[in-house]
Structure 1
Amino acid sequence: MKKDMRYLCYPYMREAASTVDFEIQTDSLAVRIGQSVNLVELVEVKADLLELTEMAYHLNGSVRGDLAITEEDLKRLSWMYDRYVAETRGLIKQFVLPQGSEAASALHVARSEAKKSVRALHKVSLEQDVPDLLFDYTHLLANVMFVMAVYVNKQLGVEEIVFVSKSYPKKRRKT
């Protein structure tokens, strides 16, 4: 008897390999980036986010399937990063609290999901070879989400709040 597919959300769920965790994590990343699209009112940011949602799914399949992230994709993402950094120059001197507008907050969540994806990719790399390109892309994607969040807050007139760590002071005092 054929298995009823309504009782199967993902065909690899019972595998022990870390590939499964990476694919589930990058699915979550794509969902969070996609969620951000409808919260951002800036047309140019919406277009970038739709592109990045699709790229997150290409990243998702690039471990189990064919490598779908290319050097050109990395260059495009790097260009995006440079563009948003140029627009936010002077606003990011230290780590900032993940706050602000609803759109920026969603982008911070997407940033966090990208970082989790890097970690999941690392675990895959302990089991099989993973191209450096995937690591570079995923790390950069997290950084793009961060600068996009700062950019969106800037456009909405929301000031960033600097986070000052008690755990990692700039200069340790000698006692």
Structure 2
Amino acid sequence: MPFKPSKDLDELCYPFIHENSPLCDYEVLTDELCTLLGMACSAMPDQMADIAKDLAVLQPLAFHANGSVRGRLALTEADLQAVKSCLHHYKAEVAERVQGFVLPRGTSPVNELHQARSVSKKAIRALVRLDDAGTSVPEILPRFLNLCCNLCFVLTQVVNQRRGVAEPAFVSKSYALPRSTSPKAP
């Protein structure tokens, strides 16, 4: 028997919470993303005010992404370009660090940024399920969430680098690169 929302608004956290839909799942995940970005922003040390400022710009974009399926599309190409510019700025700062997979390490706000990265992926997966279910998903949403995921990862590296914390490189045994199979010279 499906749950029925209470008529007492004190007992209802979100009007759509009882929907059996990937749309509600997406909205809950983007709400969580917004929360994690806010937590990371609030936990940012004073000497990293530049990152806190950029997270303060990114955080409301997560809420704009939240309502952009059920409601009116609220993200723009300019928003994406701003996030991409920020991503490139911080990538340049950590260009000498480990490239590829690392084991997530560090203390707050790195933890929150790693969680935001993971929740961004979950939100993308919810969009995939929405699309599979026949809901029209604006192309800008998965693009934004991928950028958000990548920016959060790079910011973990920036914060750790500024603190002198090294993340151990992770070399997968499952997806090891094949040995070179280049042809031999005759």
- TM tier, shorter chain? over 0.9
Query: Which amino acid in the other structure matches residue 6 of structure 1?
Result: D
Task: Please name the residue that 2:62 is paired with.
Answer: 56
Q: Does structure 2 conserve the Cα–Cα contact (< 8 Å) formed by 1:78 and 1:140?
A: yes
2:102–2:168 contact (8 Å) kept in structure 1: yes
Letter in 2 for 1:9: C
Report which of the two structures shows the higher radius of gyration computed on alpha carbons. Answer: 2
- The aligned amino acid for 1:150 is Q
Q: Which residue of 2 aligns with 1:38?
A: 42
Pairwise CA RMSD of aligned residues? Answer: 1.7
Q: Deviations over 1:47-68 (max 9, x none)?
A: 1112211111001000100000
Q: Using structure 1 for the length normalisation, give the TM-score.
A: 0.93
Work out whether 1:141 is the aligned partner of 2:148: yes
How many correspondences in the alignment? 173
Does 1:27 find its partner at 2:34? no
Matched, 1:171 2:178: yes
In 2: Cα distance, 1:144 partner to 1:16 partner = 31
- State the distance in 2 between where 1:118 and 1:109 align: 14
**Structure 1 residue 79 corresponds to structure 2 residue 85:** yes
SS at match of 2:43: coil
Is the 1:85–1:147 contact (alpha carbons within 8 Å) kept by the matching residues of 2?
yes
1:119-175 Cα offsets, whole Å, 9 max, x none, are: 11111112211111111111111000000110010111111210111111122599x
Query: Which of 70, 73, 78 is matched with 1:67 structurally?
Result: 73
Q: Counterpart of 1:135 in structure 2: which amino acid?
A: P
Conserved? CA contact 2:33–2:62, under 8 Å: yes
Equivalent position of 1:107 in the other structure: 113
**TM-score normalised to structure 2 length:** 0.88
Which AA in structure 2 matches 1:91?
A: R
Separation in 2 of the partners of 1:148 and 1:100? 12
Aligned to 2:129: 123
The superposition leaves residues 62-102 of structure 1 with CA deviations (integer Å, 9 ceiling, x where unpaired) of 01000001000010011011011011102131201111232
Structure 1 spans left out of the alignment, 5+ residues: none
Unaligned runs of 5+ in 2: 1-5, 182-186
Letter in 1 for 2:12: L
Q: Is the 8 A contact 1:34 1:49 kept in 2?
A: yes
Match of 1:13 in 2: 17
